[in-house]
Chain A
Amino acid sequence: MNSEKHDNLISVHIDGEEVRVPPGTNMIEAARSIGTEIPHYCYHPKLSVVGNCRMCLVEMGMPGRDRETGEPMLDEKGQPKILWMPKPAVACATGAAPGMHIRTDSALVRSCREGVMEFLLVNHPLDCPICDQAGECHLQEFATDYGRGYSRFVEEKNVKPKRTRLGPRVMLDDERCILCSRCIRFCKEIADDDVLGFIDRGSYSTLTCFPGKELANNYSLNTVDICPVGALTSTDFRFRMRPWFLKQSPSICIESSVGVNTVVWSREGTIYRITPRRNDAVNDTWMSDSGRTLYKGVDSGDRMNVYTLEGRPADAGAVLEECVALLRGGSVAVVGSGRSSVEEQWMLKRTVEALGDEIPVYLVGRTEPGDGLLISNDRNPNVRGALLTGLMDTLPAATLDDLGARIEAGEIDTILSFGEDLCAAGLARGQLKKVRVIYAGTHHNDCSQRSRVEIPLLTVFERSGSFVNQQFRLQRFSRAIPGPEGVYSDLAFLALLHARLTGLRPMRPEPAEIWKHLSREIAALRGIEYDRISDTGVVIDGSKFAHLPFCEGKSLHYEPTAATAVS
């Protein structure tokens, strides 16, 4: 923290403990900074504050001053006397003020929370056994802390619509809604698609879509994440698995070069859902709906999971030998991928170097209009990694026209494609017939059918590594599930291939091991240790590439540099 920031910190006392926080911090965040949780429902750090749930009530006081002299009032012990407000205040909407005292656990505060909980539960259904939120429900959590354990409500509970379809991906159970309005504020403030609102009054208030509208924007599932109860559920995850069985693995979304931080939830090798992971410098607490469906490719029918030679399943060792023979037996072109990790791109570069000096290397660009929020124009998650590792020195073109021309000219005998479908990248069938193709990929496609050797690769959920996003932020992702049986990781296969070509011992295919070389060899990456990269990533100096016309436009927490804007 730099010193001028330090200077304007203000000091507040939370349960007797002194905390220094920046001005404007509200009490919930101030308490969070020392690990004290103030229960809350409607407050969300990335949304406007409305203060309507009243769960966050705390006691607040200021040191007293004598009205006549202006001297601080002292108690018998000579300590400053705190004048406590007679009524509790909402912690979400009250900013910390210098010298302020807060009680988060007094008898008054507890009784406030108990009162709020009792009212919230008056009309709440006893749905936990069939409610998807159970296990990660704030209402359940605070009910165990502040609930009565029995109900004094003998009247009939309100009945509200259940199983309402709000949009293609979101279901609503109105009985469970505690009217916190987080979902409404999200749609209005973040997704810019104002479709939700409350109708009716009092305990009959009901969340609904405006007539003729539906919650269909590509960020709709964030409402499910921020709903503190089980009122909003995802149609995809609904009734599929309990969250307490799921293992959480930190990952990075490969949808675009934004590099959205995610958590992959899996059980015994099956992924059940993907949710955003908070990173205030990249995606705040949000992610797109389209990014959440990417796990479906893992088990899809066209998944490539065996090594093949000329279309027949083969042993990995035999495939490796054939690769070496093909790569040594003529002039070679290599196509890398902007979806490979930094480590894999570097390993591929080493492999290219082992093949010779004049090997043409390509990457396939994926430019599609983004949404200005969390999907950028560049749908490759790691083009900057290829620049940093030296695999590429220019930005990739969308199609491999140059490679096509070389094939036509008869300059190429063998193409090694590590992760890219050459047909989709613009090479014609006739062109592929003229060369021998080694195709490494995750899924079967036109290109795999026309290749002599097929090497199955792992999806991002099955490997570990790092990507460099549009901000030149290096971020790690880790393996959530094991890959198909008998398949080497991308890195391991490259390490073996490199070893066979050079006659050296294979490198240990662990990102941390590769980074020992990376941080030594590449100036911009100097001093970085893989295991020490923080969960929010590290920003790398990318000024060396500032002249390149990157295609990204403005998105959340990203402003294109001048050079980019000009292009």
Chain B
Amino acid sequence: MATKVVERKPLNLAERSYLPQIVGGLKITFRNMWKPPVTLEYPEQRPNIPDRYRGVPTLVKDPNGREKCVACQLCEFVCPPRAIRIDPGEIPEDSEHAHVEKAPREFKIDMLRCIYCGLCEEVCPEEAIFLQDTFSVNGLSRAELVFNKKKLYQLGGTLPDSHYKWDKKRDAAEKGGDEH
């Protein structure tokens, strides 16, 4: 490859003395000295988080305390940095939620990997994973920042449900939809 020599213009006297630049800088400093501050004294002061902000992803339960996630593993598939790991399992037949059949045995999100993109929330067919307004998570080790299922439900809490899809299915079965 040919090398191209770029001509470098010599600095003139004003440029070499730096004085015009210093004066220009000071002007900006003095102008802003009298304006109200735009920054926050984080972490003592906290910003207002808009609704729909995307912070840490968490798992939620429905108002009846049923874990909504059915371990379909779509979020695990869609997650761009592969932050999610799910170990799916079967709900035992004697459980009150046996009609849902499937739930995660373990659900881990590596918060060091998560980029808060929100794709997991968007892809979830069960409205089970939501990004919260928490944006700062920290810990003293890497392992500590891989949140397990327990921790994710703790952070997520309960969310209103407008469908109760699985309960409707159970009710239909109890009503004897197969009588004919």
User: Which single member of B70, B76, B93 contacts A130 (CB below 8 Å)?
Assistant: B70
B73 touches A156 (CB 8 A): no
Kindly provide the distance from the CB of A316 to the nearest chain B CB, expressed in whole angstroms: 32
A contact patch SS: loop
| 0/1 interface trace, chain B 149-180, chain A, CB 8 Å (1 if under) | 00000000000000001000100110111101
User: Which single member of B72, B76, B173 contacts A129 (CB below 8 Å)?
Assistant: B72
| Also in contact, A129 and B70, with CB within 8 A (given A159-B178, A239-B102, A241-B88) | yes
**Residues of chain B from 97 to 116 with CB closer than 8 A to chain A in the complex:** 99-102
Kindly provide the distance from the CB of A135 to the nearest chain B CB, expressed in whole angstroms: 9
| 0/1 interface trace, chain A 200-223, chain B, CB 8 Å (1 if under) | 100010000000000000000000
Q: What chain A residues lie within 8 Å of B131 (beta carbons)?
A: none
Q: What chain B residues lie within 8 Å of A241 (beta carbons)?
A: 73, 88
B77 touches A162 (CB 8 A): no
B173 touches A159 (CB 8 A): yes
B72 touches A134 (CB 8 A): yes
B77 touches A242 (CB 8 A): yes
Kindly provide the distance from the CB of A179 to the nearest chain B CB, expressed in whole angstroms: 15
CA distance A125 to B168 in the complex (A): 12
Q: What is the size category of the interface that chain A forms with chain B?
A: 20 to 34
| Also in contact, A128 and B89, with CB within 8 A (given A159-B177, A159-B178, A160-B178) | no
Say if the beta carbon of B126 comes within 8 Å of chain A.
yes
Kindly provide the distance from the CB of A247 to the nearest chain B CB, expressed in whole angstroms: 14
Q: What chain B residues lie within 8 Å of A156 (beta carbons)?
A: 172, 177
A129 touches B125 (CB 8 A): yes
Q: What chain A residues lie within 8 Å of B60 (beta carbons)?
A: none
Residue of chain A at shortest CB distance from B99: A162
Say if the beta carbon of B144 comes within 8 Å of chain A.
no
| Also in contact, A239 and B77, with CB within 8 A (given A130-B72, A160-B178) | no
Q: What chain A residues lie within 8 Å of B102 (beta carbons)?
A: 129-130, 239
Kindly provide the distance from the CB of A137 to the nearest chain B CB, expressed in whole angstroms: 13
Say if the beta carbon of B129 comes within 8 Å of chain A.
no
**Interfacial residues, chain B to chain A (CB-CB below 8 A):** 70-74, 76-77, 88-90, 93, 99-102, 125-126, 165, 169, 172-173, 175-178, 180
Those 10 A-B pairs whose CB atoms lie nearest each other, nearest first: A159-B177, A129-B72, A130-B102, A242-B73, A129-B125, A159-B173, A130-B70, A159-B178, A129-B70, A239-B88
**Interfacial residues, chain A to chain B (CB-CB below 8 A):** 125-126, 128-130, 134, 156-163, 200, 204, 238-242, 244-245
